[in-house]
Structure 1
């Protein structure tokens, strides 16, 4: 089985998002190592990142080809809700926003009302993340 394992986090000084391999040392901030394809030898740069912003790549991309990371906020119609006449109906037209979280060995979509296992992302669209856009979880697009 071959899958890409990488992480992203906000660089400590610039607060810019970076992606790469994660290294952690006890009592120190985590670091992410970026590898640039340089000839003849790849160039490696190690950056200190804010620990609370570190998230793992899920291995999936959204409907636009954007990689989905832990901590992203995604919008989908697949799990939209409608409450006609006060009766809960699932999987009907309507958008809903979810955060991507890693819980009990798997990635999940969560919001204040519901949670689902994260699977194929062809119905998902990354619209932000919990660090830069937390307000997106409070609103539901209908």
Structure 2
């Protein structure tokens, strides 16, 4: 099974996401776009330079989709299903990578569960930059 590798980046200066930041270099176009479709302006010559630029926080695509078909990225805020078996109770947490596994982590509850599940639903409800308040709640 081939997994798609792609990245998005949070632009600290403009406070918005840039998508397909690696793809821009893979196709040699060097054109990274903001969510509204406008081109980003930066002086990076390669993807590694983009990763090292302190203006951006780069997040990786997990290769998974939520129950609505939305791509799930590192840094997304995800809710687990309330009516599904497998999870002890509904949980909201941030998608992180730990020891080679994608997890949903809720630091307040000191809990982490696997992002992938065949028996429970996952739903992206925001991200850590635009929706920080979502991590405060339990549901």
Structure 1 unaligned blocks of 5 or more? 23-31, 37-41, 81-89
Partners of 1:79 and 1:118 lie apart in 2 by: 17
Change (3 A) 1:130 1:12: closer
Q: Do the aligned partners of 1:79 and 1:91 also contact (CA within 8 Å) in 2? A: no
Which range moves more in the overlay, 106-115 or 11-20? Answer: 11-20
Q: What TM-score does the superposition give when structure 2 sets the normalisation length? A: 0.67
Q: Do the aligned partners of 1:20 and 1:35 also contact (CA within 8 Å) in 2? A: no
Structure 2 unaligned blocks of 5 or more? 33-39, 43-49
Query: Superposition pairs for residues 1-142 of structure 1, below 5 Å?
Result: 1-11=1-11, 13-22=13-22, 33=24, 44-46=30-32, 47=40, 48=42, 50-51=55-56, 53-77=57-81, 91-92=87-88, 95-112=90-107, 113=109, 114-120=111-117, 123-141=121-139
Please report how far the alpha carbon of residue 16 of structure 1 lies from its aligned counterpart in structure 2 after TM superposition: 2.8
User: Greater strand share, 1 or 2?
Assistant: 1
Q: Tell me which structure has the larger Cα radius of gyration.
A: 1
CA RMSD of aligned residues (A): 3.1
Change (3 A) 1:134 1:12: closer
Partners of 1:45 and 1:12 lie apart in 2 by: 18
User: Greater helix share, 1 or 2?
Assistant: 2
Q: What TM-score does the superposition give when structure 1 sets the normalisation length? A: 0.66
Please report how far the alpha carbon of residue 135 of structure 1 lies from its aligned counterpart in structure 2 after TM superposition: 1.1
Please report how far the alpha carbon of residue 79 of structure 1 lies from its aligned counterpart in structure 2 after TM superposition: 9.5
The alignment covers a number of residue pairs equal to 116
